[in-house]
Amino acid sequence: MSFATFQTVSLGNIRLHLCPSDKFKTTTLSAFITNPLQAETVTKNALLPNVLVRGTNTYQTTVALRQKLNELYGAGSFGDVFKRGERQVIQFGMDLANETYLQNAPSLLEEGIQLFCEIILDPFVENNQFYTSFVEAEKKNLKQKIDSLQDDKIRYAAERCVQTMCEGEPYSLFNYGNANDIQAIDAKSLYSYYREVLEKAPIDLYCVGDVEVEEVTNLFAKYFDSKMQNAVREEVPFAAVSHKVDKVKMVVDRLDVNQGKLNMGCRTQISIRDEKYPALMMYNGILGGFAHSKLFMNVREKESLAYYCSSGIESHKGLLFIQSGIEEQNLDRAVDIIKQQLTAMRNGEISDQELEQTKATLSNQLREGQDRAFELIGFHFQSVLSGKPRSLEDLLQKINAITKEDVQEVAQLVELDTIYSLRGQEGEKQ
């Protein structure tokens, strides 16, 4: 079966990526605005999408905007922010029902695209600044979101591991920013920052669904302000990934928890742009990406130490993270077992079965992404961001050709950098 392909059209200096497909019952729109990840702007970038989805020039209250979305048959609409390597990307999404499947419904595409563009480009503005009460409410909401990170122990431990491991590097910044920066942001400063971003940052637009390329192109050309299309945009550089580890950092945090958390961070020296990237994906799969992987088999199945123990890669910064929830008294034993697995990988102790299983499950995972519109878009955008577009066919072929030696070669580059653990309060018996 052939894979979905995107066609990229230029709207001036904005890229529009289109994928006509009749398998979805909705039409999915996305916009990505790429910014450098840096301390001065990280919190503003996190706040921006939340303010923009509050109201537009036409729909000046949130209730009016959300009611309009409901009238468009519950068009799903969101704004959020995520980080990839040392870039922070603002994302907007919308999902429109395809009227073919409804009774007596009008075409929703044009109104949907118009509203989508309006949310991004034409916010409710008073006296050359954002509407103050939107900004103030969103500041409170963001503060609470940042403060509540500690309530989700799994995410908190993962974030603390990144923070300590990448201390001094932009990647250590939390995606939702810094609570201490929030107070100083106001409707005026945020609005002028917004104008700056809109006119300088690279913008990628997406549309997936049962649509005609020409129609969607014309609609975006019509509704995505032509001034925006002509603005000069500068690509944000890719972070350097090479990083030698002198000494493994050991970090212990203490909170009132029933179960300890163990997070180990490694430098892989390999990014998505690298020739060795498919071998790194295989390395991660054999180590801890699946239920047949070494970490799951050894930490959970053989030793009954944990319910979960897995690994994952950050492909734009060249990092690999291992995470597990472990009874505190067993933490040291778990670290030993995990280190043994890293050593085994370096020594090339990889069975034919592990190699074949991982090729099969990894390829399956990549193919499955084709059946979800937002994943299809995410995979393509990842490739755009890398600056080295790679098709799914090509990636699957490369994975299929990986040998044990290729994986071992990657294993020898991977260096353990940080061992982070979250433990209960000292002196307390759980």
Binding residues for other proteins restricted to 185-244, rule: CB under 8 A: none
29-37, 165-173, 222-230, 288-296 -> range binding other proteins (CB under 8 A): 288-296
Q: How far is the CB of 294 from other proteins (least distance, A)?
A: 13
> Which run of H or of E encompasses 35?
strand 26-36
Question: Are the C-beta atoms of 421 and 248 separated by less than 8 Å?
Answer: no
326 forms part of the interface with other proteins (CB under 8 A): yes
Nearer Cβ to other proteins (82/307): 307
Q: How far is the CB of 305 from other proteins (least distance, A)?
A: 7
22 forms part of the interface with other proteins (CB under 8 A): yes
- Applying CB under 8 A, the site for other proteins has a residue count of 76
Can you tell me which of 39, 82, 132, 152 binds other proteins, judged by CB under 8 A? 152
Strand 76-84 vs strand 125-126: parallel, antiparallel, or unpaired? unpaired
> Which run of H or of E encompasses 354?
helix 352-368
Binding residues for other proteins restricted to 342-371, rule: CB under 8 A: 353, 356-358, 360-361, 363-365, 367-368, 370-371
255 forms part of the interface with other proteins (CB under 8 A): yes
- Joined tokens for residue 124: 């409710």
Rounded CA-CA distance 45/34 in Å is: 10
- Joined tokens for residue 248: 């493994």
Task: Name the H helices within 27-171.
Answer: 42-52, 62-71, 109-121, 132-147, 153-165
Binding residues for other proteins restricted to 386-425, rule: CB under 8 A: none
Instruction: Give, in degrees to the nearest 5, the angle at Cα 150 between 146 and 151.
Output: 105
- Joined tokens for residue 96: 């429109």
Is 396 exposed, middle or buried, given 0-12, 13-18 or 19+ CB atoms closer than 10 A?
middle
333 forms part of the interface with other proteins (CB under 8 A): no
Binding residues for other proteins restricted to 26-45, rule: CB under 8 A: 26
286 forms part of the interface with other proteins (CB under 8 A): no
Q: How far is the CB of 424 from other proteins (least distance, A)?
A: 10
Of 80, 112, 108, 111, the closest CA to residue 94 belongs to 112
Can you tell me which of 8, 57, 74, 107 binds other proteins, judged by CB under 8 A? 74
Nearer Cβ to other proteins (185/266): 185
Rounded CA-CA distance 306/327 in Å is: 8
22-30, 181-189, 271-279, 411-419 -> range binding other proteins (CB under 8 A): 22-30
Can you tell me which of 5, 8, 70, 412 binds other proteins, judged by CB under 8 A? 70
82 forms part of the interface with other proteins (CB under 8 A): no
Query: Residue for token digits 């299983």?
Result: 357
Binding residues for other proteins restricted to 295-314, rule: CB under 8 A: 300-301, 304-308
Neighbours of 57 (CB within 10 A): 11
